[in-house]
Structure 1
Amino acid sequence: MPGFEIQRAVPEQGAALCGLLEAAYQPYRDRGVALPDVTNGLADEIAAGRVWVAMAPTGLFGLLNLSLSLPAAHLINVAVSPVAKGQGVGGALIRFAVRLATDAGCETLDLATHADLCENIALYTHLGWETTDTGVSRVRMTKRLTTL
């Protein structure tokens, strides 16, 4: 992958990752979308080995939080630093999550996103996710995986 590589997060990156998450979600908040605290529990997720980072020579470009639990995996969060937006980081992290889930033998990859994040819903739909449930503020989606 040009410009960055994906590697497991380490605890020392926690503060920087919290900053990345806040910066990545700020444009949605600026639009008036009421989001939960996206940094809550991040240190525990890193310690559990469920967080990966897109690391560039200039710093952290993105974050993936993924839970692998057969028969399904759950895409908890994908966030891209504003400085890396439009450079393919988000797509690379999503493809990485699909590969990890497939390699682990998961049948599906599930996610939930905020109903007001229309661009995220459109992206996941384009990448093969199907909407499985909609609520007032949450949309749940699933991607069926092909295992070898």
Structure 2
Amino acid sequence: MAGLIDAAYQPYRDCGLVLPDVSGGLDEAIAAGQVWVIGEVPLGVLMMATTPPDAHLMNIAVSAAAKGQGIGGQLIRFALDHARATGCSRMALATHKDIPENVALYEHLGWQVTARDGMKVLMSRDL
């Protein structure tokens, strides 16, 4: 799974973006029950924490082989449904300021920018 996550972000690194360790904390997140995978051979990975009333979307990554197949959308819908089912009423996330397509996607899906902190764009949405 770490390889899938790292590979999903590699095109951004190839463009010169400096990103944090995007697969860091994976083992801890798995142990905490905060990781979900689509596919026997993983096509996508979701990392999310829920501490009602808040949920935190930590990471969504889709393999290059599955790009354009709706895997990311399935993961986002699952995240929203799971957060609601666990009693959360709000979901937050952070994305990179130099990946404007992520900001635009999340805005399209109902998130709003709540703050900017260095390279991070902080966003949240009501559930």
The TM-score range, normalised by the shorter chain, is over 0.9
The aligned length equals 127
Runs of 4+ in 1 over 4 A off after TM superposition: none
Q: Among 19, 22, 25, which residue is 1:35 paired with?
A: 19
Aligned to 1:136: 118
Aligned to 1:53: 37
Aligned to 2:73: 91
Alignment partner of 1:66 is 2:48: yes
Aligned to 1:110: 92
Aligned to 2:102: 120
Note if contact 1:62-1:81 (Cα within 8 Å) is conserved in structure 2: yes
The alpha-carbon deviation at position 136 of structure 1 amounts to 2.6
Q: Deviations over 1:15-43 (max 9, x none)?
A: xx011011100001011110011121101
Partners of 1:129 and 1:89 lie apart in 2 by: 19
CA RMSD of aligned residues (A): 0.8
Q: Percent identity?
A: 53
Partners of 1:105 and 1:42 lie apart in 2 by: 24
Q: Deviations over 1:100-134 (max 9, x none)?
A: 01111111000001111111111100000011001
> Larger C-alpha radius of gyration, 1 or 2?
1
TM-score (norm 2): 0.97
- Structure 2 stretches of 5 or more lacking a match? none
Aligned to 1:44: 28
TM-score (norm 1): 0.84
The alpha-carbon deviation at position 135 of structure 1 amounts to 2.5
Task: Report the secondary structure of 1:116's partner residue.
Answer: coil
Aligned to 1:20: 4
